[in-house]
């Protein structure tokens, strides 16, 4: 978590203070369920202390979920203090909105046309069967696994979200090219077992599109056309995760390739200047599968919840 960013306990306290100030005790239970918190259980008493009651319901919530809740409260009532904290959380996000999310390709690169250049409406006109195209708006709260599953449930025409979730997980896993990518994906998606209100880990996301690279044997002028993984977090925070194999820094014969490495660094800088966060893992970190899972668990804990 960046310097000056609120920690989970700061955000829990700010949310509890805001609810305590703006909601009557007899409405606390109803209002907090609307925020996605657990329902009241026997023996709990919001009349005793609204702050303590709400904080108890927030204990254990991941930072991404706390951000989502905090971001919704200013929509319900004016709270300058909480709004300042929410604005601070969003300060490092990307300014633009997510308009097109094309991902999980399992075949040839899709061919895309601008159906409406003014509104930036794109259409996949060829090879669309090999990729997924999320066509719903992405809110300030980011893209949660529950939202992705709901979208996929509609595509499958099923009301059984568990079936849809398993089917979607398998489809996303199929798009992965290497064992390290599969290890990272499985390590992260274990979090979905604790509940679907977790940021969705999106694999093989198209970042740039160069239509000329697929015609006439022309090599693309764009260095990175796809990201290995993308997380769309609250506050327009976009996190890119890459796993670097030998082709990122060496030629096919194994000798160092400084030009390829430099081009990769240039593209990283471009993304960071646009507000993206870029995190890289070396392929060597995945040689020991057990150690890799420990490393990944720690990484995702700190990425989403902040250092302990």
pLDDT tens by residue, 244-253: 877 767 678 8
Question: What is the predicted pLDDT for the residue at 96?
Answer: 61
Residue 61 in tokens: 């919530």
Residue 177 in tokens: 């090219």
User: In the predicted model, what is the mean pLDDT of residues 255-272?
Assistant: 85
pLDDT tens by residue, 61-84: 877 778 778 877 766 778 888 877
Q: What percent of the chain has pLDDT over 90?
A: 33
Question: Which of these ranges, 9-23, 35-49, 53-67, 193-207, has the smallest mean pLDDT?
Answer: 35-49
Q: Which residues pair with 123 in a beta bridge?
A: 113
Q: Looking at the predicted structure, is the pLDDT value of residue 90 above 70?
A: no
- pLDDT band of residue 226 (cuts 50, 70, 90) is confident
CA distance 255 to 242: 22
Question: What is the predicted pLDDT for the residue at 3?
Answer: 43
Q: Are 203 and 181 in contact (CB under 8 A)?
A: yes
Question: What is the predicted pLDDT for the residue at 117?
Answer: 65
Q: How far is CA 249 from the centre of its chain?
A: 27
pLDDT tens by residue, 159-214: 999 999 999 999 999 999 899 999 999 999 999 998 999 999 999 998 765 555 55
- pLDDT band of residue 119 (cuts 50, 70, 90) is low
User: How many Cα neighbours within 13 Å face the side chain of 52?
Assistant: 6
Q: Are 12 and 66 in contact (CB under 8 A)?
A: yes
Tell me how long the chain is.
308
| Angle at CA of residue 263, ends 262 and 266, nearest 5° | 85
CA distance 143 to 149: 11
Residue 107 in tokens: 């075949």
Q: Looking at the predicted structure, is the pLDDT value of residue 282 above 60?
A: yes
b/e sequence 83-103, b meaning 16+ C-beta within 10 Å: eebbeebbeebbeeebeebbb
Between 189 and 255, the more confident residue is: 189
Q: How far is CA 44 from the centre of its chain?
A: 34
Residue with tokens 């960013």: 5
Q: What percent of the chain has pLDDT over 70?
A: 75
Helix orientation angle between 8-22 and 25-34, rounded to the nearest 10 degrees: 130
- The two counts, helices (H) then strands (E), for the chain are 10, 8
């Amino acid at each position: 978590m960046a310097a000056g960013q609120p920690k989970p306990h700061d955000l829990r306290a700010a949310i509890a203070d805001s609810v305590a100030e703006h909601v009557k005790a007899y409405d606390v239970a109803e209002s907090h369920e609307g925020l996605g918190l657990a329902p009241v259980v026997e023996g709990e008493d919001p009349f005793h202390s609204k702050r303590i009651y709400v904080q108890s319901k927030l204990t254990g919530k991941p930072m991404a979920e706390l951000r989502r809740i905090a971001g919704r409260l200013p929509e319900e009532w004016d709270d300058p203090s909480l709004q300042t904290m929410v604005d601070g959380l969003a300060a490092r996000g990307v300014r633009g909105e997510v308009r097109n999310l094309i991902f999980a390709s399992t075949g040839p690169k899709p061919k895309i046309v601008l159906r409406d250049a003014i509104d930036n409406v794109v259409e996949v006109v060829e090879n669309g069967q090999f990729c997924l195209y999320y066509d719903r708006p992405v809110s300030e709260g980011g893209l949660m696994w529950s939202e992705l599953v709901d979208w996929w449930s509609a595509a499958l025409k099923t009301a059984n979200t568990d079936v849809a979730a398993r089917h979607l997980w398998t489809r996303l896993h199929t798009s992965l090219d290497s064992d390290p990518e599969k290890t990272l994906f499985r390590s992260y998606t274990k979090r979905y077992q604790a509940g679907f209100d977790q940021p969705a880990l999106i694999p093989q996301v198209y970042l740039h599109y160069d239509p000329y690279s697929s015609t006439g044997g022309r090599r693309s002028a764009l260095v990175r056309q796809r990201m290995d993984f993308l997380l769309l977090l609250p506050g327009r925070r976009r996190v890119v995760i890459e796993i670097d194999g030998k082709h990122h820094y060496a030629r096919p014969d194994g000798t160092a390739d400084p030009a390829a490495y430099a081009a990769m660094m240039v593209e990283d800088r471009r993304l960071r200047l646009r507000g993206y966060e870029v995190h890289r893992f070396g392929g060597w970190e995945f040689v020991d599968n057990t150690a890799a899972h420990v490393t990944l668990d720690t990484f995702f804990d700190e990425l989403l919840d902040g250092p302990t």
